[in-house]
Amino acid sequence: MQRHAIFTTTALRELQAVPARELDALLGDIDLLARDPRSGRLDLRPLRKYPGFHRLKVGRWRVFCRLDGYVEIHAVRRRSEDTYDLPFNPRTLPTPGELPAAPPADWDEEDEQLAAGGPPREGNFPLRPEQLESWGVPRLYFPQFLGCAGEDDLLHLDSVVPSEWVMHVIGMLYRPGLDQTQSEAQYVVHSREELEAYLSGRLSDLLLRLDPEQVRASEWRLEGPALVRGGPGTGKTVVALYRALAYAQHRPGSRVLFATYTTTLAHYAEQLLSRLVEERGLDAEVEVSWVDRLVRQNLKAPSWKIAGDAELLEAVRTVLAELRDPFLQGLGPRYLRDEFHDVIQAWDLGREEYLGFPRHGRQLPLYPEEREKVWVAYDRWRGLLDRRRLLSWNRARAAARASAQPAYDAVIVDEAQDLPPVALRFLLRLAKDPRGFYLTADANQSLYQQGFSFKAVDQALDMRGRSLLLRRNYRSTRPIHAALAALARHPSLESEDLPEPAHRDGPKPLLVGIDQGTEAGTLRELVYRLCRQLRVPLSGVGILCPSEARAREVVAALNRLDVPAAWSKGEALELDQPAVKALTLHSAKGLEFPVVIVLDVNQGTLPRQAAVPAEEAEAYEARDRRLFYVACSRAMRALVVAYDPRRPSPFVRELPPELWEQHDEPAGHGSASQSERSGRP
């Protein structure tokens, strides 16, 4: 392919099912189409029902494509065996005495039906061996698929069959129409050889397509520093991956670091970038890691332990008991822990600096004499942790920065909004020159840091004139985007970075009032209903919980009802695990799921009842509001917000009823009506 072609997820899946004896001719014509779309050697004609689309005829196969700047391959389907029925609509029949208009000479109803997709003409189950064989399913998994008596069995199957093959069979059974493939992820294929390698399994990944806006961001200001902003689903991470490749391509012999917030993304990026660098013959070294692994690698205190939140809080309580100061007691241990860790240590402040520091994001003004008392308590707290050979994460980051050496020509940081200043300074220290520093960020997804500029972190990070905003949403459906837009209009969030509406349609987000006694059964019904509706296996569901204990409880309850569910945390999270995923709200950061259920959006849980001074209550609620926004923005195709009808969160009461579907449990099951939820009579 002299010009690269674009393939949708559906097109790649359907190509995998083409028999080897027919694949050569098919790929040959696709290759010619990519090189010369106007070639007279191709049987190419426009579709009637899908303006802008063309049908390429290759024997019994039909390739459905768009010729819009690039050649976009949307679907690949075989005549006769894969013909689909369109829904019967009596209103489309001619009235007596009225004759339908004659179709044009090149009109082909069967091709138009193939383009429309849908379920097979015959009953879906039981599946047949010849079906599975024609779809390219490995014979190893035939017994499991042939044993499915219905759709629920198919949804369960990814506990014994790799999820990619379950998704493949679902996609072949219920093929999307061209109106749906337009909103799918699209992948770039640079040559026929690359496509053949992918189809034969020698190539595990293809790089996502960039739109012109993203292409510009990926190569813009390679002499940085540079910042790319964007809301959830705008492709900031994909742009960052391309940015790493751009450095490798334009700076021969360079050493590039791609640092990300999540371990899951780091594992994926590591495989993808290393392969692409090798395949393109680039003379560069691209290293992928997550931030805190880099901290541990550069920390010269191997015998010290990183303290958890409970240990930090216990140390604060010990100090308060020793000092017995009424003012400090009034602030409380949670507030003081945040002041110590998220202000003093996050900015790596000394005593004199702290006494005059603006304390970004904190609402309670501390006067000089009050800060002196806080510093005395902080000094004791730090000394107590030292004696216990414990380090907070921010102190570990500061220590790693002090011992780190500049080693990289370029440092690319994904999800920078969630890194404290001391972590950003550590990563900047790893760069040989600030001009090789690149960040992606979304202020609305910041769970911890608010109210500071990157220039305040370091003078080298002055982003004036060096910031781009991505505006197109590639993750969520239009109804989910509308709900997120309403959330973002709250003053505690920043609507400037909200992406433009998505092109993909889907169901409205769902509000569910769940009584504690019926929770497990209601969750089971919701999971299966949404998986059937969207044609995704159970492994595509993420249930986001306020705590680890709550996630474990949900997993146990679902397992008792024979719903495969699993809990994972942090580095142990496996997105391909064949089960419903239950994880904490914070662990979901940077991830996405076809179906997301946000659990326990209750008063006292989200927002939490934080024992902090009254002046700070609004700031702590704003932090939880951002957490709620981040959780909802993980949803790709379906979003559910679940709450206890006896104590709904104010976040629930604020949701615009016209943007959400309300689900009521049967009478006597404790559900809330629309008026009860909204507080309106």
- Distance separating the N- and C-terminal Cα atoms of the chain: 64
CA neighbor of 137 nearest in space, from 158, 166, 157: 166
The whole-angstrom distance between residue 169's C-alpha and the CA centroid of its chain comes to 24
* CB distance 598 to 480 below 8 Å: no
Of 500 and 238, the structure prediction assigns the larger pLDDT to 238
Indicate the SS3 state at residue 576: coil
* CB distance 544 to 599 below 8 Å: yes
Provide the pLDDT for residue 496.
53
Q: What is the DSSP letter of 301?
A: -
Region of 509 on the Ramachandran plot (φ > 0 left; ψ -120 to 50 alpha; else beta): beta
In this predicted structure, the answer to whether residue 560 has a pLDDT above a threshold of 70 is yes
Provide the pLDDT for residue 239.
84
Q: Give the whole-angstrom CA distance, residue 114 versus residue 111.
A: 5
In this predicted structure, the answer to whether residue 672 has a pLDDT above a threshold of 50 is no
Range with top average pLDDT, 222-226, 265-269, 459-463, 559-563 = 559-563
In this predicted structure, the answer to whether residue 485 has a pLDDT above a threshold of 60 is yes
* CB distance 271 to 377 below 8 Å: no
Q: Give the whole-angstrom CA distance, residue 346 versus residue 330.
A: 23
Provide the pLDDT for residue 103.
43
Strand segments, DSSP code E, in 125-179 are none
Q: What residues have CB less than 8 Å from 128, skipping those under 6 apart?
A: 146
Provide the pLDDT for residue 556.
94
**H and E: helices and strands count for the chain:** 27, 21
617 sits in which H/E element:
helix 617-632
Q: Give the whole-angstrom CA distance, residue 653 versus residue 16.
A: 48
CA neighbor of 588 nearest in space, from 539, 638, 545, 645: 545
Percent of the chain residues topping a pLDDT of 90: 32
Q: What is the pLDDT of residues 523-541, one digit of tens each?
A: 999 998 888 888 787 888 9
Helix spans in 332-367 (H): 333-338, 351-355
Provide the pLDDT for residue 107.
56
Indicate the SS3 state at residue 393: helix
Q: Give the whole-angstrom CA distance, residue 215 versus residue 219.
A: 7
Q: Give the whole-angstrom CA distance, residue 146 versus residue 532.
A: 19
Q: Give the whole-angstrom CA distance, residue 436 versus residue 395.
A: 26
Lowest mean pLDDT segment, chosen from 139-148, 449-458, 668-677: 668-677
> Nearest 5 degrees, angle CA 196-CA 201-CA 202?
75
The DSSP bridge partners found for residue 256 are: 286, 410
Average pLDDT over residues 195-200: 82
Provide the pLDDT for residue 564.
86
Q: Give the whole-angstrom CA distance, residue 254 versus residue 276.
A: 15
In this predicted structure, the answer to whether residue 279 has a pLDDT above a threshold of 90 is no
Label residue 448 exposed, middle or buried (CB < 10 Å: 0-12, 13-18, 19+): middle
Helix spans in 536-610 (H): 548-560
Which tokens sit at 592?
A: 């996405």
Which tokens sit at 55?
A: 């049908």
Other Cβ atoms less than 10 A from the Cβ of 207: the count is 17
Q: Give the whole-angstrom CA distance, residue 525 versus residue 522.
A: 5
Q: Give the whole-angstrom CA distance, residue 340 versus residue 313.
A: 11
Q: Give the whole-angstrom CA distance, residue 149 versus residue 127.
A: 8
Q: What residues have CB less than 8 Å from 120, skipping those under 6 apart?
A: 82, 84, 173
In this predicted structure, the answer to whether residue 668 has a pLDDT above a threshold of 60 is no
Q: What is the DSSP letter of 201?
A: T
Q: Following DSSP, what letter does each residue of 59-101 receive, concatenated?
A: TTEEEEEEEESEEEEEEEEETTTT-BPPPP-GGGSPPTT--PP
Q: What is the pLDDT of residues 71-86, one digit of tens each?
A: 899 999 988 654 444 3
Other Cβ atoms less than 10 A from the Cβ of 104: the count is 9
Lowest mean pLDDT segment, chosen from 229-233, 518-522, 671-675: 671-675
Average pLDDT over residues 236-240: 82
Backbone angles phi, psi at 468, to 5 degrees: -120, 150
Q: What is the pLDDT of residues 286-329, one digit of tens each?
A: 888 989 899 999 998 778 999 998 999 999 999 999 999 999 99
Amino acid identity, position 183: S
Q: What is the pLDDT of residues 647-664, one digit of tens each?
A: 899 999 899 999 999 876
In this predicted structure, the answer to whether residue 185 has a pLDDT above a threshold of 80 is no
Q: What is the pLDDT of residues 411-456, one digit of tens each?
A: 999 888 778 899 999 999 999 998 889 988 875 544 445 556 777 8
Provide the pLDDT for residue 336.
95
In this predicted structure, the answer to whether residue 228 has a pLDDT above a threshold of 50 is yes
Claim: this prediction has a pTM higher than 0.85: no
Confidence class for position 244, pLDDT limits 50, 70, 90? confident
In this predicted structure, the answer to whether residue 2 has a pLDDT above a threshold of 60 is no
Which tokens sit at 17?
A: 């099912």
Sheet with 541-545, side-by-side order of all strands? 565-567, 580-584, 541-545, 593-598, 635-643, 510-513, 661-663
Strands 437-441 and 226-230: parallel
CA neighbor of 662 nearest in space, from 641, 681, 644, 647: 641
